[in-house]
């Protein structure tokens, strides 16, 4: 059969119509899609371990026959532990235990040949012997021990529904036979040869079915030559899309703002509520240099909690306003939008600037009037949520856009706000703000098309926050500490991970608000803030807290960003083990915003997972946002780092920005060099023509080819 990457997956031996439906749910429709479904680990089935050679805590692959099996029901009756005894070819006996293993009853029969892969552990009831608990198993047919199962390094795939690893392996073996090693290569030949990478066909074949001499360690750490080639390819194509995006954006027209007039300099000084730090001066100079150019600024401003990102954005907005343009600031939540609006109005109104707020919670008449002021240009700075990108929002002359906490928006949402300026015949200058410090590896991946500025200095007068960890048993002492802080005129937050009582047995904000008000702090005034309140209700609660009419605010993570009450000096986070590191860091950032010493108390159970304990110990050890971000990335991996999935998923099949950061840096250099080299444009066009349509969609290259 002639190779055709567009061949429907159902036509491949071992797939068929029913399995093709399962694959389609994972976005696998063609031969090319199937080849992109790569093994997540490999087993050495050339040299199986013998039972007599295994050691405690080692991970082994063993070929053995079933001697006996029995499911033993637990006292609750629903669960069963399946006890299996197997024997290898050398006569070694190994007990195997499967928790919740009732499904195996009747499926495993004496004499069947199995492959078991798992960790050897000491049997707690009989310390003199070893056992395996919940290993991965495959049943082999005596008559059909083909080359995909034994006598080789075997790829292990994540099952897709009822389409198990063994069946996927056989279908993949058939798919690999269709590959021509001379298939068109998406990497330019000169680049591939210079870097010493195998061809694409060779890389796919050897990633799915490695040669017997391959290093198992290299394969399982994704360091084999074939895997490295595919990792580089994914990074290269993605970085090329970013390079071409940047190149195209720099050809667009933007308003070149005047900055050097005395009036503009005076305007910037007039709105500053404090003496700027050296970092703020440096970052504003970087932004100002961009704003003077006729090409649009696309800049990411990273700054830890409290570093002064908002005042930088307001200064950039004033530059736009002084040049006769409008500015917009989009925030991910109404609470944050309201906070920005109040801050901007306080800072800018005294200088005569007109600030408008646009959120979905406005009454109909208020919203209509706001839209009229935005359309006429009367509103000079517009602050809002997703409401800013609705179809009925039109600007008179939008020249500058700031987007706060960009990771909470999708790529398309950012573009829709930019299109509001494009409708007026020019591209806006764009400043993306984030208080989530982003390690360089992720910054290059998520925001590789943006220039980066970093605010790495806190304003003077901020005192370090003391963070400590405690357990539920010590809560009475925590509540007594809160009483003393309130008696001294300060305020506090108490944060819970859920709104109402849940099956997870987590304390819930609503129930705890009632209990704390009634039993713990009956003489104090408490407020309750959570995501189900209406916009007006949220604002009413926050106003009471800002005015110290509520001394303790019981809340969910709705206070994670945007809440700024300098008088709040204590943050108690219950079930802190349930929060991610970046979330904990954002929550802690709600205090320490004044000159008074502040305290963050993390309440967690005595027993918790090692990962949860590592998170909390990191919070106690450091308040450096970048160190916390690096630790978070190591603990959770890049896919979970932000807590919310980006619209426009990067879709890497094998590449991992954390694990493969050297290849990411190399791919970025090569991609940006190719995009910039006019002599290489023919090579780039050939590359783009070779990309199948799915790849063009994934890497956003279709419009360029």
At residue 337, the pLDDT reads 87
Tens-digit pLDDT profile for residues 662-674:
999 899 999 989 8
Q: Which residue has the higher pLDDT, 599 or 461?
A: 599
pLDDT band for position 2 (50/70/90)?
low
**Calpha distance 83→67 (Å, rounded):** 11
- What total number of domains does the chain contain? 4
The answer to whether residues 225 and 334 belong to one domain is no
Distance, CA of 403 to CA of 386 (rounded, Å): 11
The C-alpha atoms of residue 557 and residue 544 are separated, in whole angstroms, by 19
Contacts of the segment 198-206: beta carbons below 8 A, 24+ positions apart: 198/225, 198/226, 198/229, 200/229, 200/233, 202/226, 203/227, 203/229, 203/230, 203/233, 204/35, 204/176, 204/179, 204/230, 205/176, 205/179, 205/181
What residues contact 48, with CB distance under 8 A and at least 6 apart? 61, 62, 63, 88
Percent composition of the chain: helix, strand, coil (DSSP 3-state, to 5): 40, 20, 40
Residue 437 and residue 291 share a domain: yes
Answer whether residue 164 shows pLDDT above 80: yes
- Could you tell me the maximum CA-CA distance found in the chain, to the nearest angstrom? 91
pLDDT per residue as tens digits for the range 330-357: 988 887 888 889 888 888 887 889 999 9
Q: Scanning the structure block, which residue is given the tokens 């930088």? A: 312
CB atoms within 10 A of CB 185: 20
Residue ranges with strand state E in 123-270: 130-133, 136-140, 153-156
In this predicted model, which residue has the larger pLDDT, 246 or 591? 591
> Per the domain annotation, does 20 fall within a domain?
no
User: Among positive and negative, which fits the CA dihedral 201, 205, 211, 216?
Assistant: positive
In a domain, 99, yes or no: yes
Q: Residue 316: which CATH number?
A: 3.40.50.300
Q: Are 41 and 136 in contact (CB under 8 A)?
A: no
What are 241-272's pLDDT values in tens digits? 888 877 877 778 889 998 877 777 777 777 77
Query: pLDDT higher for 149 or 610?
Result: 610
Cβ-based neighbours of 331, under 8 Å, separated by 6 or more: 337, 340, 383, 384, 385, 404, 405, 562
**Least confident segment among 198-212, 518-532, 546-560:** 546-560
pLDDT at residue 173 is higher than 50: yes
Instruction: State the residue range of the domain holding 315.
Output: 262-455
Cα–Cα dist 701/703, whole Å: 6
Please check whether residues 481 and 614 belong to one and the same domain. Answer: yes
pLDDT of residue 217: 92
**389 pLDDT exceeds 70?**
yes
What pLDDT, in 10s, does the model give residues 198-242?
999 999 999 999 998 899 999 999 999 999 999 999 999 888 888
Under 8 Å between Cβ of 349 and 381? no
Mean pLDDT of 507-521: 89
- If asked whether residues 377 and 524 sit together in one domain, one would say no
Residue 700 lies in a domain: yes
Residues 438-453: pLDDT tens digits? Answer: 766 677 776 777 888 8
Structure tokens at 650: 């990067």
Which stretch of 56-65, 171-180, 304-313, 464-473 has the lowest confidence by average pLDDT? 304-313
Residue 639 is predicted with a pLDDT of 53
From 622, 654, 677, give the residue that closes a domain. 622
User: Which positions ≥6 away from 194 have C-beta within 8 Å?
Assistant: none
- Residue 226: both structure tokens together: 């074939």
The per-residue pLDDT for 574 is 93
Contact criterion met (CB below 8 Å) for 535 and 361:
yes
Residues 403 and 300 in one domain: yes
pLDDT at 628: 80
Tell me, yes or no, whether 507 and 423 share the same domain.
no
- What are the C-alpha distances in Å from 548 to residues 489, 492, 525, 533, 600? 9, 10, 9, 20, 19
Q: Are residues 306 and 419 in the same domain?
A: yes
Q: Is the pLDDT of residue 585 over 60?
A: yes
- One domain, residues 440 and 471: no
H-type helices in 377-439, by residue range?
Answer: 411-422
Indicate whether 83 belongs to any domain.
yes
At 304 the pLDDT is: 75
User: Residue 12: is its pLDDT beyond 50?
Assistant: yes
Q: What is the 3-state secondary structure (H, E, C) of 36-87?
A: CCCCCEEEECCCCCCHHHCCCCCEEEEEEEEEEEEEEECCCCCCEEEEEEEE
pLDDT of residue 396: 92
> Do residues 231 and 283 both lie within one domain?
no
Residue 595 lies in a domain: yes
As given in the structure block, the two tokens for residue 359 are 């959120």
Whether 646 shows a pLDDT value over 50: the answer reads no
Q: What is the pTM of this model?
A: 0.67
Q: Do 499 and 509 meet the contact criterion of CB atoms below 8 Å apart?
A: yes
Closest CA to 374 of 348, 393, 353, 350: 393
Nearest one of 325, 395, 381, 376 to 349, comparing CA atoms: 381
Asked whether residue 280 carries a pLDDT value surpassing 60, the answer given is yes
d(CA 428, CA 399): 5
Instruction: Say how far apart CA 259 and CA 267 lie, in whole Å.
Output: 11
Residues 473 and 515 in one domain: yes
pLDDT given for residue 407 in this prediction: 56
Q: Same domain, yes or no, for 316 and 447?
A: yes
Which pLDDT belongs to residue 647?
35
Q: Do 266 and 395 lie in a common domain?
A: yes
CATH code, domain carrying 118? 2.40.50.140
Sign of the alpha-carbon torsion through 560, 563, 564, 565:
negative
The pLDDT, as a whole number, for residue 648 is 39
- The pLDDT assigned to 228 comes to 97
Q: In what order do the strands lie in the sheet with 491-495?
A: 465-470, 598-603, 568-574, 491-495, 552-555, 526-529
Decide if 667 is inside a domain.
Answer: yes
Give the N- to C-terminal CA distance of the chain in Å, as an integer. 29
In a domain, 485, yes or no: yes
**What confidence score (pLDDT) does residue 78 get?**
60
Residue 456: pLDDT band (50, 70, 90) is confident
Provide the pLDDT confidence category of residue 702 given band limits of 50, 70 and 90: very low
Q: Which CB contacts under 8 angstroms, 24+ apart, belong to 438-441? A: 438/302, 438/629, 439/626, 439/629, 439/630, 439/633, 439/658, 440/661, 441/633, 441/638, 441/657, 441/658, 441/661, 441/664
Residue 188 has pLDDT above 50, yes or no: yes
pLDDT band at residue 625, thresholds of 50, 70 and 90? confident
Q: Which of 31-45, 94-108, 142-156 bottoms out in mean pLDDT, i.e. has the lowest?
A: 142-156
Residue 616 domain flag: yes
CA distance 502 to 508: 8
Residue 88, pLDDT above cutoff 80: yes
**Kindly report the CA angle at 182 between 181 and 186, in degrees rounded to 5?**
105
Query: Cα separation of 661 and 439, whole Å?
Result: 11
**Domain final position from 597, 622, 647:** 622
pLDDT at residue 311 is higher than 70: yes
Q: Is the pLDDT of residue 33 over 90?
A: no
| Averaged pLDDT for residues 613-635 | 82
Last residue of a domain, one of 590, 622, 654: 622
For residue 627, pLDDT beyond 90: no
Environment class of 141 (CB within 10 Å of its CB; exposed 0-12, middle 13-18, buried 19+)? exposed
Rounded average pLDDT over 311-328: 93
Compute the distance between CA of residue 433 and CA of residue 371 in angstroms, rounded to an integer: 25
């Amino acid at each position: 059969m002639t190779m055709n990457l567009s061949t429907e997956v159902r036509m491949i031996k071992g797939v068929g119509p029913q399995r093709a439906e399962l694959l389609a749910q994972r976005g696998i429709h063609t031969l090319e899609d199937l080849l992109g479904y790569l093994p997540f680990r490999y087993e050495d089935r050339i040299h199986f371990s013998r039972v007599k050679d295994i050691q405690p805590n080692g991970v082994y692959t063993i070929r053995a026959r079933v001697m006996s099996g029995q499911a033993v029901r637990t006292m609750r009756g629903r669960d069963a532990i399946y006890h299996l005894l197997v024997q290898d070819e050398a006569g070694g006996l190994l007990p195997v235990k499967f928790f919740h293993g009732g499904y195996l009853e009747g499926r495993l029969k004496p004499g069947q040949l199995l492959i078991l892969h798992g960790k050897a552990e000491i049997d707690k009831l009989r310390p003199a012997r070893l056992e395996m608990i919940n290993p991965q198993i495959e049943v082999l047919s005596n008559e059909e021990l083909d080359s995909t199962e034994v006598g080789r390094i075997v790829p292990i795939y994540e099952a897709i529904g009822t389409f198990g690893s063994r069946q996927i392996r056989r279908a993949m073996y058939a798919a690999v036979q269709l590959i021509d090693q001379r298939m068109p290569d998406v990497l330019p030949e000169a680049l591939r040869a210079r870097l010493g990478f195998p061809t694409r066909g060779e890389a796919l074949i050897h990633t799915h079915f490695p040669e017997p001499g391959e290093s198992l360690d290299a394969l399982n750490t994704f360091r084999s030559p074939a895997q490295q080639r595919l990792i580089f390819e994914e990074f290269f194509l993605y970085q090329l899309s970013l390079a071409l995006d940047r190149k195209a954006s720099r050809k667009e027209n933007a308003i070149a703002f005047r900055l050097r007039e005395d009036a503009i300099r005076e305007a910037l000084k007039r709105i500053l509520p404090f003496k700027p730090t050296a970092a703020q001066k440096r970052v504003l100079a970087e932004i100002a240099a961009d704003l003077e150019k006729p090409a649009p600024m696309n800049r990411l401003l990273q700054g830890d909690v409290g570093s002064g990102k908002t005042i930088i954005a307001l200064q950039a907005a004033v530059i736009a306003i002084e040049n006769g343009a409008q500015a917009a600031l989009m925030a991910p939540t109404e609470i944050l939008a309201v906070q920005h609006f109040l801050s901007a109005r306080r800072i800018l109104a005294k200088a005569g600037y007109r600030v408008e707020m646009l959120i979905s919670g406005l009454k109909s008449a208020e919203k209509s009037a706001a839209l009229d002021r935005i359309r006429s240009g009367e509103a000079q700075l517009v602050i809002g949520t997703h409401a800013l990108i609705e179809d009925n929002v039109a600007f008179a002359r939008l020249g500058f856009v700031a987007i706060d906490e960009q990771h909470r928006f999708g790529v398309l949402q950012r573009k829709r706000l930019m299109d509001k300026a494009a409708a007026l015949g020019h591209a806006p200058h764009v400043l993306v703000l984030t208080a989530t410090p982003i390690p360089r590896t992720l910054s290059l991946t998520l925001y590789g098309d943006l220039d980066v500025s970093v605010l790495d200095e806190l304003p003077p007068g901020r005192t370090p926050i003391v963070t400590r960890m405690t357990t539920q048993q010590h809560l009475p002492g925590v509540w007594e500490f809160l009483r003393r802080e309130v008696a001294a005129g300060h305020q506090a937050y108490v944060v819970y991970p859920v709104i109402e009582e849940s099956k997870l047995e987590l304390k819930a904000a609503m129930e705890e608000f009632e209990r704390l008000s009634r039993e713990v702090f009956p003489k104090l005034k408490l407020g309750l803030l959570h995501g189900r309140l209406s916009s007006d209700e949220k604002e009413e609660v926050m106003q009471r807290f800002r005015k110290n009419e509520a001394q303790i605010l019981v809340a969910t993570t709705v206070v994670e960003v945007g809440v700024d009450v300098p008088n709040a000096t204590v943050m108690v986070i219950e079930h802190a083990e349930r929060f991610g590191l970046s979330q904990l860091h954002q929550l802690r950032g709600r205090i320490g915003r004044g000159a008074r010493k502040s305290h963050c108390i993390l309440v967690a159970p005595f027993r918790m997972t090692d990962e949860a304990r590592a998170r909390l110990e990191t919070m106690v050890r450091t308040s450096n946002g970048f160190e916390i971000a690096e630790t978070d990335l190591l603990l959770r991996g890049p896919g979970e780092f932000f807590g919310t999935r980006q619209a426009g998923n990067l879709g890497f099949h094998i590449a991992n920005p954390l694990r493969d950061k050297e290849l990411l840096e190399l791919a970025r250099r090569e991609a940006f060099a190719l995009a910039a080299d006019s002599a290489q444009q023919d090579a780039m066009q050939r590359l783009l023509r070779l990309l199948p349509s799915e790849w063009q969609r994934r890497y956003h290259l279709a419009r360029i080819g």
